[in-house]
Chain A
Amino acid sequence: MSEVSLKPRRRNGSTNIVVYLVALVAVALTVGPVLYGALGGFRTNGQIAERPTALPDPWVVDNYAGVLSGAPFWTYALNSTVIAVITTVVTVVFGVMAAYPLARYRFRGREALFMVFVLGLLFPAAVAVIPLFILISRDLGLGNTWWGVALPQAAFSLPLTVVILRPFLMALPRELEEAALIDGASRIGLFWRIILPLSTPGLVTVAVLAFVTSWNAYILPLLLLQGEMRTLPLGVADFSTEHSADTAGVLAFTTIAMIPALVLFLALQRRIVSGLQGAVKG
Chain B
Amino acid sequence: MSSEHMLGAVASGRPHRTTPPPSAPPRTTSPRSTPWRQRAEIAFFVTPALALMALFIAWPVLSAVRFSVYDWNGLGPLDDFVGFANYADVLKDDVFTDAVIHNLVIVVGSIIVQLPLGVALALLLNRRMAGQGLLRTLIFVPYVLAEVIAGVIWFQLLQPDYGLIDAIMGGIGLTPPDEGWLGTPEVTLWVVLAVLTWKYLGLAVLLFLAGLQSVPEELYEAAQLDGASWFQTQWRVSIPLLGPTIRTWCFLSMIGSIQCFDMIWVLTGGGPADATTTMATYLVDEGTNRHNYGIAGAASVVLFAIAFVMALAYQLVVLRRDTKEEA
Contact = CB atoms under 8 A, between A and B. Distances in A.
A203 to B, nearest CB: 15
A106 B229 contact: no
A37 B171 CA distance: 20
A110 B24 CA distance: 14
A262 B141 contact: yes
Interface in A95-150: 95, 97-98, 100-107, 110-111, 113, 116-118, 120-135
A215 B46 CA distance: 26
B185 interface: no
Contacts of B74: 134
B189 interface: no
Interface in B107-144: 121, 124-125, 127-129, 135, 137-142, 144
A125 B4 contact: yes
A34 interface: yes
A116 B201 CA distance: 31
Contact of A30 (B21, B138, B231): B138
Given A30-B201, A52-B162, A247-B162, A160 B10 contact: yes
Interface stretch (A15-23, A60-68, A70-78): A15-23
B60 A132 contact: yes
B60 A131 contact: yes
B24 to A, nearest CB: 4
Contact of A233 (B21, B138, B146, B233): B146
A119 to B, nearest CB: 9
B156 A251 contact: yes
A126 B154 CA distance: 23
A233 B41 contact: no
Nearest to A234: B148
A262 B21 CA distance: 35
Interface in B200-258: 201-202, 206, 210, 213-214, 220, 224, 227, 229-233, 248, 255, 258
A219 B261 contact: yes
Contacts of B141: 30-31, 34, 262, 266
Contact of A105 (B38, B153, B213, B261): B38
Contacts of A151: 52, 56
A261 B11 contact: no
A152 B18 CA distance: 29
Contact of B8 (A11, A121, A266): A121
Contacts of A123: 57, 61, 304
A50 B19 CA distance: 61
Contact of B27 (A154, A177, A262): A177
B100 interface: no
Interface string A23-54: 10011011101101100100000001101110
A223 B297 CA distance: 16
Contacts of A178: 27
A109 B63 CA distance: 27
A18 to B, nearest CB: 10
Query: Top 3 closest A-B pairs, CB basis?
Result: A213-B3, A106-B26, A282-B18
Interface of A: 1-4, 6-7, 9-11, 13, 15, 19-20, 22-23, 26-27, 29-31, 33-34, 36-37, 40, 48-49, 51-53, 90, 93-95, 97-98, 100-107, 110-111, 113, 116-118, 120-135, 151-152, 154-160, 162-164, 167, 170-171, 174, 177-178, 181-182, 187-188, 191, 209, 212-213, 215-219, 222-223, 233-234, 236-237, 240, 247, 250-251, 254, 257-258, 261-262, 265-266, 269, 273, 276-277, 279-282
Given A98-B49, A127-B307, A178-B27, 19 more contacts: A7-B227, A37-B156, A52-B166, A97-B44, A98-B45, A106-B26, A121-B12, A127-B64, A127-B304, A133-B288, A157-B3, A159-B7, A170-B24, A218-B146, A219-B284, A237-B148, A280-B17, A282-B17, A282-B18
Interface of B: 2-4, 6-15, 17-18, 20-21, 24, 26-30, 33, 38-39, 41-42, 44-46, 48-50, 52-53, 55-57, 59-61, 63-64, 67, 74, 121, 124-125, 127-129, 135, 137-142, 144-157, 159, 161-164, 166-168, 171, 198, 201-202, 206, 210, 213-214, 220, 224, 227, 229-233, 248, 255, 258-259, 261-262, 265-266, 279-280, 283-284, 287-288, 293, 296-297, 300-301, 303-304, 307-308, 311
20 contacts: A6-B230, A19-B127, A33-B150, A36-B157, A37-B153, A37-B156, A116-B53, A120-B53, A124-B304, A126-B303, A129-B284, A131-B61, A131-B64, A155-B53, A159-B53, A178-B27, A187-B41, A217-B3, A276-B9, A282-B21
